[in-house]
Amino acid sequence: MGAFLAVAQAATLALILALLYRPLGDYMARLYTSDRDWKVERGLYRLIGIDPRAEQSWPAYLRGVLAFSVVGLLFVYAMQRAQAVLPYSLGLPAVPEGLSFNTAASFVANTNWQSYSPELTMGYTVQLAGLAVQNFVSAAVGIAVAITLVRGFARRGSGTIGNFWVDLFRGSFRLLLPLSVIGAIVLVIGGVVQNFNGFTEVTTLAGNTQNLPGGPVASQEVIKLLGTNGGGFFNANSAHPFENPTAWTNLFQNVLMLAIPFALPRTFGRIVGSNKQGYAILAVMATLYVISLVALSALEAGGNGTAPELAGGALEGKEQRYGIFGSALFGTTSTLTSTGAVNSMHDSFTALGGMMPMLNMMLGEVAPGGVGSGLYGMLVLAVIAVFIAGLLVGRTPEYLGKKIGPREIKLASLYILVTPTLVLTGTALSFAIPGVREDVEATSIWNPGIHGMSEVLYAFTSASNNNGSAFAGLTANTPWFNTALGVAMLLGRFIPIVLVLALAGSLAAQDKVPATAGTLPTHRPQFVGLLVGVTVIVTALTYFPVLTLGPLAEGLN
């Protein structure tokens, strides 16, 4: 029965995503190629002095991304520091400086790493006007950057890649907002809380009293998932019954996380003029997703050890209302996207099972990845795959009619190196600096030894890849982790964006070259297999040595 339910859930999810692929992907293609503006958008353009018809070069587009993100960072930080005087603060004090920086960096970078208990730290105004707003706009920024790279492949001899403000507003108001309204209504129907009641005192079955928090949960829950953000309204995140009450809401939340990332390849295909190219990218994403899901489900269902064998699986840290597969499905989805939401304790997974969410992030979160970031990450890997194939056959590599020359491959290579550098450097410094190591071992790591190493590695992997999930046994609200993880989140988000926009500008400036008999077809199974192999070899194997010190050593012990 368990296997049947698992297959039924997976099949239902695949069917829903298949039904959404074409209409949602086509809608996004029209959205980002239309020259018509909504009335509210025209008002905003006039307010900030923007000409929506004026396109930007990639450096100008980048300046817009960075300026907007810096303002968002300062705004969220200031709101947290002023929380005590804001309405609906619930009597909560101002958030400390270090934690305020970490949280602001986290939400602006679309990471939503949370080193705090939200219901005990953030009032409703900060949650709604600060964190939830960033959930919208940081997701819209990611999609906008992906669209610029797609335009780079589609355009010929162009010095521009679009207008950042137009892409930002359209992604926010035409895509994320209407879908969030629909999704929030579905979640409320499913039992997710949406109110401003504050704390309610109830009497438990044992006769004790307990304060239960309420709040505008559904409205934040939907965009945390749809925008692949991940920050929970409650500390237990999507394991909390007020955020994710039932098995069917759990399945629906998986749909929310995957809908836009899996539909973006269709958008890509439509804009470049070849739906087959979109199907090829989709096939790579789907292949990696299925492999990861099967592996994690098998490792958790067949967990080694006396307790898992007696229980019929590794049930520690998992909610009974989802079961092992529902937890594995959610964990796979949230770490293969950049969502980072959790409905189970990844720290309680089996040693090798806990390695799978880590590997999902180490792949670069491209299967299907975060909203926008997954597509542009996969296209960068496609550039590398084409370059490798070109070397093998002795021809100048080409992708979608654009030559992949020294400039393009340098930008793609630097993109691939950013997150491993941040992950490995952050993990190494946590144990190499004497004062920091003493604090990490005495304060942050409650489970010393190999597993403690895995917790720190997971934290920097999550932060640098803008995921936000955690091995929750790690206490991260310390000066070192608040600062180091905050810096890793900002660099892991914006350095790749710089490189992607530069790549988009370089490609857009080229004319298209005609296909010849020696051109590698990039829409066939041969290229799909090549791209899957390149994704695994170029990204995941970079981390193999450090994995042998953590989850592999623990799992094989």
pLDDT band at 504 (very low <50, low <70, confident <90, very high): very high
85, 27, 535: which is closest to 283 by C-alpha? Answer: 535
| 526-553 b/e (C-beta count within 10 Å ≥ 16 → b) | ebbebbbebbeebbbebbeebbeebbbb
pTM comes to: 0.95
Tokens of residue 358, six digits: 């880590």
SS3 content of the chain, % helix, strand, coil (to 5): 70, 5, 30
**DSSP H helical ranges for 273-363:** 275-301, 306-311, 323-336, 351-362
pLDDT at 1 over 60: no
- Per residue in 214-254, pLDDT (tens digit) is 889 999 999 999 999 998 898 889 999 999 999 999 999 99
Q: State residue 210's pLDDT score.
A: 81
Per the prediction, the chain carries an average pLDDT of 92
- Per residue in 411-433, pLDDT (tens digit) is 999 999 999 999 999 999 999 99
Q: What would the mean pLDDT of 146-150 be, rounded to a whole number?
A: 98
pLDDT at 104 over 70: yes
Q: State residue 492's pLDDT score.
A: 97
Q: Is 211 exposed, middle or buried (0-12, 13-18, 19+ CB in 10 A)?
A: exposed
213, 226, 244, 253: which is closest to 110 by C-alpha? Answer: 226
